[in-house]
Structure 1
Amino acid sequence: MQKRNYNYFLLIFFAFLLVVSIIFTQTLTDKATQALQKGNVEAVETFKTNNEMQHLVNLSFTLQSRLSQVNNMDKVFPLDILSDSLTLFGYNANVLNDAVARKGNVPNLKRLMDAVNIQLNISYAILDARQQMNVPLLDSLTRVLTKTKPAENVYHYGVLVEKFLENQLQKTLVTNSAHASQLSAYNRVLSVAAVIAVLIFTTIIVIRQWQQLVLIKELRVAREAAVKSRNAKDEFLANMSHELRTPLNSLIGFGNLLSDTPLDHNQKEYTNTIISNGYNLLHIVNDILDFSSIEAGKLRIKRIPFNLPELFEDLKRMFSAIVNEKKLTYHWDIDPQTPQLIKGDPERLKQVLVNLINNAIKFTSYGGVHIHVGVLPCEKEEMHKLVFSVKDTGEGIPKEKVDLIFERFEQLEQMTTRQHGGTGLGLSIVKSLVESMGGSVSVNSEIGLGSKFTFTAIFEKAMEAPAVASRNAGRPTADFSGYTALVVEDNAANRVLLKHLLKKYNLHIELAENGLEALERIQAKHYDLVLMDIQMPHMNGYKAISIIREELHINTPAIAMTAYVMENEVKRCFAAGFNDYISKPIEEPDIIGKIIKWMPARAEVAPPAAVVETTGEDGLDFFRELVGGDEAIMNELLGEIRKQWVYDKEALRAAAAAGDTLEMGRILHRVKSTFSALGPNHPIQQLLKKRTIATGSSTGDIGNTTEDVIREIDQFGKTVFIS
């Protein structure tokens, strides 16, 4: 830092020195130029004066000579010509006098003019006597003119004046030469200073440019690191979203189911505590994930129709346990003028309300919470502007904190986190979500009397009611006779499962084990639909679908089958060229619904619904339901699962011995797909969700972890593999 300051001061010093030198030299140049101009003017005037002086002297001698012979020269020089010459002589003398007088006090100038005047007086007297024919006077005057010889006096004093002017000119020229020499010396100094300054400036600029290049390189490296960090962060958040939300939702869901069963007082209290803390943890996870999405600019607002009263009923069920636990009242009402069916993002609206209601309950010890919805005038006819309010009878918010509560990581007091929990992100996310929905949020609060949060949001008018699948609806029915689908799956068990599953719907299936084989089949034959796995050997699903779309220009509908359901992975499926996607483990209603979407011509569809899974002693109820209870198909599929697991188990051990964690992760993904026919809640699938291969400090650590996973799968798989 000191070195940089030194460079700056040095640069400023030389810049100042250069500017001063330029100003000083310019001043000297101006003076020298003015002196040269003055000297040139004086030289020109001196030459002109000398010429006029010479002309005056010549004219003086000529007049003296002619007037001396005026009696004999009358015919040659008429009197009128002599008179004009005298007038010109006098005029030139006066002009010369004025020109020389401007140069200051010039010696002998007065004597010169006296001599001119004497000659003029005698000459005019001679002309008068000649004109009057006064011969005696004329002779007398002629003798005086000859005796006094005024022209010689004019010449004498004229020479003295010329010498004085020449001396003055010489002094001026010497002074100009001195100025020119001085200017030349200063110009040389300035040139040297300018060269030094330019060299210094150039050096500093080159150094700064080099520093900038180094800085740009460092910034590029930092940017690449930031991009990698951001990608790693996105991947981590996606995995965390999947890995945390799934068990939390199961925990809360089963907690709610458990709370509806006959329980004694202690069991009910324990269950409510589990549910309450499950919601708290889910809210924290949601806040962190949503904050990251908002910060990255990835927040998206959907536009789908939904029913407003149903959303509030869901909220009431969600908070019923904690409301009952704290013995609070909970009421909601919708203004009669408010439309019940609107179009927007119900999940984001629900998220805003969950944050506000959760805060209201959190900070309320007695009384309750009241939610109200009304409608406001909207400028656009096709839109609804709704106003929501969440009012509580809690602690209230100090006035000095009201403007801060919507900031990130802000809480009322330092002890709030310990007393009530939370991340300090909830209201910041609420503000961002509300603004994304075209509204604004405000708060009115008094200490000890409670708080009222009010926000507005813009929704579209909904023309049709949202489709709601009944949980008790029957199995989907469809007839795909005459259609042919290509199933691309490297897992043998999954191929057999899909073959028998879709056979029930008269869909003709052909199988391929990887992307290369799929390309060969698609080029040789037309298919009505392609079901393709993403992770496969030789060629994955992304590469295969890209070639199908971009090189082969085949537009057959294609559905991706993937065990990853992160938003980025789903977007990647669509970007690669897939028309749709389905997550693994595959459930019958989901896949039939997807196929109906892309092959609807011969489909006769009942409302699809999720298969209700029960857990029997052998854990194969889902599997039986999936294949319709056909024992022959079950045995065939279980045989393929057994063979595939033996192969995967050895491959997993080999990858662990080599320390190849990437290959181990790919194999575990394949294992999850192998056992997908057993259902998402089978113990093996639950094991694969929660047990991941972690890179240890040594190969032995990885091997031990791998053996633990294999041993647990074998233990859970006893009922599956026993024929």
Structure 2
Amino acid sequence: MQKRNYNYFLLIFFAFLLVVSTIFTQTLTDKATQALQKGNIEAVETFKTSNEMQHLVNFSFTLQSRFSQLAAVPDNALDVLGDSLTLFGYNANVLNDAIAHKAPIANLKYLMDAVNTQLNISYAIIDARQHQNTRLMETLTDSLRKSKPGDDVYRYGVLVEKFLESQLQQTLVTNSTHASQLSSYNRILSVAAIIAVLIFTTVIVVRQWQQLVLIKELRLAREAAVKSRNAKDEFLANMSHELRTPLNSLIGFGNLLSDTPLNDTQKDYINTIISNGYNLLHIVNDVLDFSSIEAGKLRIKRIPFNLAELFEDLKRMFSAIITEKKLTYQWEIDPQVPQMLKGDPERLRQVLVNLVNNAIKFTAQGGIRLQVRLLPPDNEETHKLIFNVIDTGEGIPKEKINLIFERFEQLEHMTTRQHGGTGLGLSIVKSLVESMGGTVAVNSEPGQGSTFTFTGIFEKVAEIPAIADKQSDKPAADFSGYTALVVEDNAANRVLIKHLLKKYHLAIELAENGLEALERIQAKHYDLILMDIQMPHMNGYKAISIIREELHINTPAIAMTAYVMENEIKRCFAAGFNDYISKPIEEADIIGKILKWMPVPAEDRKEEAEGHPADSLDFFKELLGGDEAVMQELLTEIGKQWEEDQTALRTAAAAGDAAGVARILHRTRSTFSAFGPNHPIQELLKDCRITGTAENMIHTCEQLIRQIGEKWNFIIISG
């Protein structure tokens, strides 16, 4: 009985021991589980913090890149960049709070200092851009590039991430210590913890892999965007050429026909043809200008012009359609407005043409009135003008007023069919006005008419230049005794140019492509070459390159191009053309270009030299329309090319390569062709003959380089 009781008590003892052991083990298991859960939560938070740190670093690099190129960012994107900076600062503060509550570390403070530095510089750049402080903006942008706060954010971010990783590692070690003190249950829990860690590690690896995939996709998307942009530019250039070539014939023959005896009906017909030809040309120009605005390539000139003459030109331009629609047309310039202003007359004309054309389009009765008044200036060096274009037309519904300046927007779906247009005119007006430092607005009442108002900033003109007497739109010129070669693949354009120049007694010979032109130029001397760019067999660029580089012929050559994009115009000068004229060709323009480049008799040249110093840049300024920005850009390019020509000339002379020296000298003449055929540099190159031994050639080349260098230095100083 006692033995049985003993066994009973022993059983109870073992049961009790088992229960206690189970409770103890369960308690330890619970503690281990809680420790593991706590460690897992910390690991998740650490992972999230690490992930947010990575996003913050990437965000910092992106903002640094965008602000380093802020000059190319359109004004309407500044608000988006400001919001991005706000979000960047907010994320940094949240991340700082999340890490600081764990343990204060010095690298976190350095990280926030780098973030604040980047924010301060970026906000300062936006502020300078909004206040149009270009110099301050460039200084701040240069400071941003040099200091590279994004690199500091990355460096201290990596150190903070290492600290977080260290904390994560310490948590895992603690969990393993707890797990090693337990029985098999604890070992199971340890295995579970390891599995959990592996899962988190897998998640991290997967996320990193996804980021790499995303970066690759973004790179491919960027390459596709660049390819698409290049394709768009090429398409616009080709479209311009294909449309302007037939327009050249249409408008040109229309103008020639209008100079012949016609009855009233025939005059109406031909005026309609010419008017619609110019309408189509305006549509092409709108599309090209819109593309330039989108690409940020729109350039505003700063040249003197007469505002009253511009308004007179507008009146003549619209006189036919005003008469046809039986409307009135008036313009008024406040007497306080200066006669001469400095700005971009062509862009101002384009704005007014779009607004007046729009007013005429939607006005059936009444008329159009233009007003110009002077506003208080922002500074003493500029004039601020306000322009009003008032019509008595259909008016604009209130719900449409906020949309009319958007691209491709028109009042109704039927507007295009009723009135024509692309929907780009007012969008271009808004962009051009803003480029001139102004704003545009509209006030309209349906059925009563509309008033478009815009402002513009123009510089003051210190000296009023002499105004040429405009008695006739057609230039007076007589090219008797001169012969020009016209190279054009379009038969209609060949005939047009032949008949147009025949009126000025200029002998014309025709070639259909570059190959035929080369044959004619080698067989006969011409006083001038007029050459199309886009031709079969051999285009104009290749032909002029051979003429300059291989044949060493310096006959003045004018490119006739339907490509009017800025890069194509620069390409014309780089290829060796002396000048260019865009299609459709206007009679006054082409005669003016020919007068500029046609050789003049010796006695006339002497008189011209007495009136204009040989070293002056009058020819250069006239060629570029007085646009100082373009002049400086071209002078820089000429300087770079002259440095290359000097090096090549010395190398060829040292090698005794007379043919190479001659080729380089002809190339140098093309380099300085923008200064005019009678400039002293051109005279030096024209009269120079470098032959003999290598030693003599080196001596002569150095002497020539020194003489040209003196002239070039004078140009740089005086320019």
The two structures have a TM-score, normalised by structure 1, of 0.46
Q: TM-score under structure 2 normalisation? A: 0.46
